[in-house]
C-alpha cells in the first residue's frame, strides 16, 4: 500500500512541475543538417546548392540558385519526414501513373533533384523556365 501511495504522490507532484515548451521558430534551436548536393539546376553554367535540413517545422528542402549577386533561395518542400535527397543528371522525368498521375514525361534542363522515401514515394524537382516543378515519380 505504501508503494502505491508513493507512486500516486510522485505522479501528482510531477503533474504540477512545469515542463519546457516545445521549441518554436526563432528560439535559437539548431537545425539538423541531413544532406546536400551541388549541381547546375537551371542550366546557367553556375553551380547551385540543394539542402535538406530538419527544422522545428519538419524536413525542408531548400535550393539556392546562384546569381550574379549571390544566391536566390527557394523552399521546395516542407514537412515530408523520412525523405532523402539525391541529385541526378537526366533530360526527362516520368510521372507516376498511381493516384492522380497521368504518366506524363517532363523535360528537364539536364539535371534534377529527387526526394525518396525508402520503399515508398519519390518526388522529383526540376527547373522549368521561371520556377521549380514538382513531379511525383513513385507513389
Tens of pLDDT, residues 19-32? 556 666 667 777 78
Average pLDDT of the chain? Answer: 83
Inside any domain, residue 17: no
In a domain, 96, yes or no: yes
Q: How far apart are CA 41 and CA 126, in angstroms?
A: 7
Per the domain annotation, does 2 fall within a domain? no
79 assigned to some structural domain: yes
In a domain, 12, yes or no: no
What domain count does the chain have? 1
Position 58 in a domain: yes
| pLDDT recorded at residue 131 | 94
pLDDT higher than 50, residue 60:
yes
Domain of residue 106 covers 30-138
In a domain, 117, yes or no: yes
Amino acid at each position: 500500500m505504501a508503494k502505491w501511495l508513493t507512486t500516486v504522490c510522485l505522479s501528482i507532484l510531477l503533474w504540477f512541475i512545469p515542463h519546457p515548451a516545445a521549441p518554436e521558430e526563432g528560439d535559437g534551436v539548431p537545425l539538423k543538417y541531413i544532406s546536400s548536393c551541388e549541381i547546375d539546376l537551371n542550366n546557367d553554367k553556375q553551380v547551385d546548392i540543394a539542402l535538406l535540413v530538419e527544422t522545428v517545422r519538419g524536413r525542408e528542402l531548400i535550393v539556392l540558385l546562384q546569381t550574379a549577386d549571390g544566391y536566390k533561395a527557394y523552399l521546395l518542400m516542407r514537412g515530408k519526414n523520412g525523405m532523402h535527397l539525391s541529385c541526378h543528371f537526366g533530360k526527362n522525368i516520368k510521372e507516376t501513373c498511381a493516384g492522380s498521375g497521368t504518366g506524363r514525361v517532363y523535360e528537364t534542363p539536364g539535371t534534377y533533384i529527387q526526394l525518396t522515401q525508402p520503399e515508398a514515394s519519390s518526388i522529383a524537382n526540376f527547373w522549368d523556365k521561371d520556377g521549380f516543378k514538382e513531379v511525383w515519380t513513385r507513389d
